[in-house]
Amino acid sequence: MFASRFAELRLASALILLGGAIAVGACTPPAAVPLAGAPLPAMAVPSTELPPGHRTVAFRWEYAEENQLTRGDGAVRLAAPDSARLDLFLGGFGGGSAFLLGDSLIAPLPPGAQKLVPPATMLWAAFGRLAVPAAADTVVRAQGELIRADIGSEPVWRATFSGGRLVRLEHIAGGRIIEWVEREGAKVRYTSNAAPRRLTLDITRDEASPPFDRSVWRF
């Protein structure tokens, strides 16, 4: 949520003022190869629900789209089982917020800043929660320490787990990976090939928090 309309305009302008060299170019989305490995029952998909309680995660972020490169700081407040508030800050240019409430994403951002926030399913995956529609045609396979699951038919959500942790989620349509989230250590990357753009989060702090005040969820 923006503190004022003035802050909205400053953030939208900053996306242009801080533009840099071409960072993400248009390209054909990569093809999705069939799952490999030993078959497993659908129930083998690990649970990724938020652990009980509240957490605050701080990070540095970088957004790249064609001739635009923007950086800032941010934080997310996670509340079990399915609520989160994302705050993005752009130094002296202001900031904005987005809210994940169940399957709904509420992002009261100005047009120039709405592209910063991935879709709800991908944003949940960035924070380690698998939130895709259940499907009877789920296919699960194990390959070494990795478990992969194709959920749905068209589109397909391909989730990859390592040690019970969601490390990658791909959105597949027409046999091609149109967007994905990957989580590696303290780094999280969201990439879209449908509308070429990339958001990278470098996590600097992840800690338990006391219950959040109700004002946190106002937008």
Q: Give the span between the Cα atoms of 145 and 34, in whole angstroms.
A: 18
Q: Is there a domain that residue 217 lies in?
A: no
Q: Is there a domain that residue 215 lies in?
A: no
In this prediction, residue 155 carries a pLDDT of: 87
Q: What is the 3-state secondary structure (H, E, C) of 16-62?
A: HHCCCCCCECCCCCCECCCCCCEEECHHHCCCCCCCCCEEEEEEEEE
Q: Is there a domain that residue 218 lies in?
A: no
Domain total of the chain: 1
Asked if residues 60 and 204 have their Cβ atoms less than 8 Å apart, the reply is yes
In this prediction, residue 13 carries a pLDDT of: 40
Total number of residues shown for the chain: 219
Q: Is there a domain that residue 117 lies in?
A: yes
In this prediction, residue 71 carries a pLDDT of: 92
pTM over 0.85: yes
The domain that holds 79 is classified in CATH as 2.50.20
Q: Is there a domain that residue 216 lies in?
A: no
In this prediction, residue 26 carries a pLDDT of: 54
In this prediction, residue 93 carries a pLDDT of: 62
Three-state DSSP state, 115? helix
Q: Give the span between the Cα atoms of 169 and 148, in whole angstroms.
A: 10
In this prediction, residue 92 carries a pLDDT of: 61
Q: Is there a domain that residue 219 lies in?
A: no
Q: Which domain holds residue 94?
A: 5-208
Mean pLDDT in consecutive groups of 10 residues from the start of the chain, 219 residues = 36 43 60 94 93 96 90 96 93 80 90 84 97 91 96 93 97 95 97 91 97 93
